[in-house]
Structure 1
Amino acid sequence: MLKSFLLFTLLFISRPVWASFDVNTTCTQAYKNILSFKLKAARALIDREKATHPQNSFTILLDNYYDYFYLLSTESKADYDRLKGNKSSRLDKLEDENQSSPYYNFALAEVQLQWALLNSRFGDNTTAGFAINKAYHLLQDNSKKFPAFLPDDIPLGVVSVALGALPDGALKSILNIFGIKGSLEGGINLLQNVTARLPQSAYAMYYDEAVFYTTYLQADVVNDAQAYHKMLQYTSRMDNSSLLKSYIQGYIALRTGHSTEAIGFFAKRPAGSEYQDYPYLDYLTALAKMNIQDEGATDYFNKFLQTNKGVSYIKDSYLHLGWEALLSGDVKRYNAFAQLAKNKGYTYNEKDKRALTEIAGPLYNTSLLRARLWFDGGLYDKALALLKAKDASNYTSVHDRAEYYYRLGRIYDALQQDDNALSNYQQAISTGRNTSYYFAPMSALKAGNIYEQRKDSSRAISYYNMAIAFKNHEQENNIEQRAKEGLKRLKR
């Protein structure tokens, strides 16, 4: 009898004591503070929860969110190298937890995905590929086990869009090994759906995160014509004290031709010692100001370069400072900034890679540069008036003539004057056909978009195939992927 009692006792003691995923009030507030970039307050709440409820495994996920948003704000390679070891230790802890909770696979997947996004940001594509593969399978499994668990749809949508839109390259090659294929349309629909459903659900705390990813992907990947207006609708529910809200509003405004509005959003962003420093917002403000030729752009680029400790947008900032000098007629100062762009910064980021391409190309014609910036800023009428005062014969090089037609095509396209847009796109294709510049293939892609909107499938397919057929040019992967997405849509 005694032996049986001792055996029972030993078995009971040796059973694992499952920690819980307790998303209590403290954890909820810590999560909201992280997403608002109030990282000091979040850190204090996470540490308090660990001290009070050491078995609460949700704090492991909160720690990862903290690192993720901290690295988004600093862009620091040194911080990345210092913190990336946290991933494996957190995964080890989470893997020992209760698998019957919907947060089990979700937490594991979020840690994998957040680090994958950071890995790719710092050029570690192999690690990112393996992490995305693991996150994808965890999320697929979780959605089958817990179909009503809405938070799952946020990372699942992100992964699906990312995989569906990924251009050919190192990361896509790695993922192809696993046979993983996403769906751009399916992923964005999933994100839009979960964003709409979250506010009325038990998981409303995840709304801001859903908006963060949905708006970014709508503007940057899907190129949704309604991205700006959707953003305004989504962010109206967000707290004005959230720095994330200001970032989303300003970034999407900038990316969709609303630079004046972007400047306003950034100017009204909350400030104070409780917020994490975020120099990137000064860089975005500088871009918006330069697009509308606001003299304050230079100050914001310089402020970013002085306060930024990260690796991205340094070359691009020097390029824009060089453009400001060029527009002022100071070629010598432009050359000095071009040299700084070559020597300073890194090429992890696509914009910094393009900055080097821009510098290596011919010296920018100032009327074309000004029209380009005004177009990016949404000042379509000013850009059009500037170029209509010129003629292709005013430009001596093939590069400039091809760009002239391309810029006119883009302006008419934005003004919904489709016939004029198509005419100029065709001229850009004819002029730039035998060059390595992106004007001809991008014009083919844009013409395909117009014909697709017109329901003229045969012409749309023809232009998408034309865009794909152009090889060995700037932005080849991006243009080819977008053309392939167009063909996919038309074949359904």
Structure 2
Amino acid sequence: MISFAKKIFNSKKSVLQISLSVFKIAKTIKVLVVYCLLISTQCTANNFDFTPNLQKAYSEIFKLKIHSGRELLAKEAPNNPFKIYLEDYADMVELLNSENQKAYQKFLDKEDERLELIEESEKKSPYNRFLRAEIKLHWALIKIRFGHEIKASYNVIQAYRLLEENQQLFPNFLPNQKSLGCLHVLIGSVPENQKWISNLIGLRGNIQQGLQELQKASKDNIWGLEAKFCTIFIQAYVLKFDSKQNEEMLQLLENQPDNLNISLLLIAISLKDNRTEQAIELLKKSPQDSVYLYFPILELYKAETQLFKENYSQAIASYLTYLRNFKGKTFVKDTYYKLFICHWLLGDEKKGKLYLLKINGAGSIVAESDKAAQKFYENFIKNGVLPNKTLLKLRLLFDAGNFEEGKKELAKLSEKSFLNAVEQAEFNYRAGRIFQKLNQLEKAIGFFKRAITLTEENDWYFAPTSALQLGYIYQKNGDKEKAKRYFEKSLAYKRHEYKTSIDNKARAALTEMGY
């Protein structure tokens, strides 16, 4: 398989890498757990018996009540494929949440064992291929988290082929609409000039096809919740997220107030979409008692809201709680960076630098925020330069959603307020984002173009992100040619810390427009 992969994927961007890069979006806020594909419908074909007890177990595990879900599973026959699937799902949740390397090694053999047990079950049932595909996707996420990306890419391809075959054999089987819809969106995010790679290995699909499949599944009484869940995730992390999608996701939670899975996703999206007050309210309502699996990521969400509200001491407390309770590697570098920021803004530069110096020896650089923290550390060691506090406060105002306050701060500044090119580029980018959010698009366009000009010869992320936003602006205005030009421009930048997420969004936008 490895030699075959080397022959197929000599290009700089293989479809495997593209598929993996889409999966990596979930890792920046640690809600990958909520992206897994579940099983929740009645089946009566021979040994595929989705009993009421198993349906209850599914519901509990989906809500992240893992302990009670496992108790229900223990009452079922060991060879029931639905039990095997749900045990795999529960294991995946715990592995992704804990990042426990010993537990990962312990469960490695479970993938093949479970796949074989299901494959030996009733061959004529549509669940035979479907459940195997779902387990393949579970392990793709797990392998990515533990650094085995090539192996994960094989899982994605194998899952796709199982689902496609199942679709041909059972075209009215709704679960396939949900799972295949997600993969079709991801495959559809590949730009046109790289489609030959996905076609070569048999991966076909497009964004509209995938969204339509998810829409069909969303109307199902049982699968509808999960399909909506997947659609919201895709809108926020692959496509575009607007006020309409925001209302839809709030309604989803209102109908499922005891679902921590949905709550985690919505909090993460709210923070990502500059809706700090909404995130604070969601955190207050989030179910967090002892019946749920404890997620350290909640401490980071709390810390982020406090940072955006300029409550730095409270933010420090939550960041430290995350470090105490989480034994894995994801977001550790970013947390040390944020601890530096909080102490620095409180005026304690000495203590802040102690946390800054911890970045290099901690965590991993899988998540983009961790990559950014590592790059910040390396630049500091090389140049000894700390960030500009004025620009940092502009960024925090934007991240918090305080756009009018940000505009007031911008009125006091100009490009000449900053002494070097990187600060001038960042100023223009920050200004562009604030005016874009205020729908003052002509001003935003000017600032974004200036940020690109100042960044052309460097690997700062202000140029690719500005190009991406210009693409969105021109797309919104109906100017497809300019939108295409700027989306392609954002893809052209080779080295920056947010390349994965920016490239994914640019590719998705291009394919959405038919390029």
TM-score of the superposition, structure 1-length normalised? 0.88
Separation in 2, partners of 1:464, 1:208 = 33
- Deviation of 1:177 (Å): 6.7
Counterpart residue type for residue 151 of structure 2: T
CA RMSD of aligned residues (A): 2.4
Contact 1:122–1:348 under 8 Å retained in 2: no
Q: Is the 8 A contact 1:438 1:475 kept in 2?
A: yes
Give, in whole Å, the separation in 2 of the partners of 1:386 and 1:65: 48
Q: Alpha-carbon deviations, 1:92-122, whole Å to 9, x = none? A: 1011011111211111101101111111122
Aligned to 1:198: 220
Code of the aligned partner of 1:92: E
Residue in 2 that maps onto 1:344: 362
Aligned: 1:449 with 2:466:
no
Alignment map for 1:120-199 (pairs within 5 Å): 120-165=144-189, 178-195=201-218, 197-199=219-221
User: Alpha carbons of 1:256 and 1:129: their partners in 2 closer, same or farther (altered >3 Å)?
Assistant: same
Alignment partner for residue 306 of structure 1, among 290, 306, 324?
A: 324
Pick aligned residue for 1:29 from 40, 56, 65: 56
* Cα distance per residue 1:176-203 (max 9 Å; x no partner): 87342543343234324422x123xxxx
* Cα 1:236–1:333 shift into 2, 3 Å: same
Segment drifting more, 33-42 vs 429-438: 429-438
Which residue, out of 42, 57, 77, partners 2:81? 57
What does the per-residue CA deviation read over 1:228-283, in whole Å, with 9 as the maximum and x for residues that have no partner?
A: 22211333322x22211321221221121111211221122223222111111111
Q: 2:71 aligns with which of 22, 37, 44?
A: 44
Change (3 A) 1:483 1:122: same
What are the Cα deviations for residues 23-42 of structure 1, in whole angstroms up to 9, with x where unaligned? 11100000001011111111
**Structure 1 residues 198 and 440, CA gap change in structure 2 (3 angstroms):** same
Change (3 A) 1:342 1:175: farther
* C-alpha displacement of 1:211: 3.6
Kept after mapping to 2: 8 A contact 1:73/1:278: yes
Partner of 2:424: 401
Check conservation: 1:291, 1:373, Cα contact below 8 A. yes
How big is the shift at 1:175? 6.8
Distance 1:75 1:198, change over 3 A: farther
Equivalent residues of 1:35, 1:69 under 8 A apart: no
What percentage of aligned pairs have identical amino acids?
A: 31
Counterparts of 2:496 and 2:366 in 1: how far apart (Å)? 20
Q: Could you tell me which residue of structure 1 aligns to residue 297 of structure 2?
A: 280
Match of 1:82 in 2: 106
Partner of 1:6: none
Deviation at 1:166, TM superposition (A): 6.7
Partner of 1:99: 123
Matched, 1:245 2:245: no
Kept after mapping to 2: 8 A contact 1:228/1:256: no
Q: SS where residue 428 of structure 2 aligns?
A: helix
Which whole-Å CA distance do the structure 2 matches of 1:79 and 1:208 have between them? 31
Alignment partners' CA distance in 2, 1:47 and 1:455: 56
For 1:305, the aligned partner's letter is: L
State yes or no: 1:357 paired with 2:375. yes
Structure 1 residues without counterparts, runs of 5 or longer: 1-17
- Structure 2: gaps (5+ residues): 1-44, 380-384
Measured in 2, the distance between the counterparts of 1:63 and 1:475 equals: 35
Q: Tell me how far 1:364 sits from its aligned partner.
A: 1.3
Distance 1:192 1:340, change over 3 A: farther
Any conservation in 2 of the 1:367–1:387 contact (CA below 8 Å)?
no
Count residues with an aligned counterpart: 462
Which structure is higher in RCO with an 8 Å CA cutoff and minimum separation 6?
A: 2
Q: Which residue of 2 aligns with 1:223?
A: 240
Deviation at 1:72, TM superposition (A): 3.0
- In structure 1, C-alpha distance between the alignment counterparts of 2:177 and 2:99, rounded to whole Å: 27
| 1:312 CA drift (Å) | 0.9
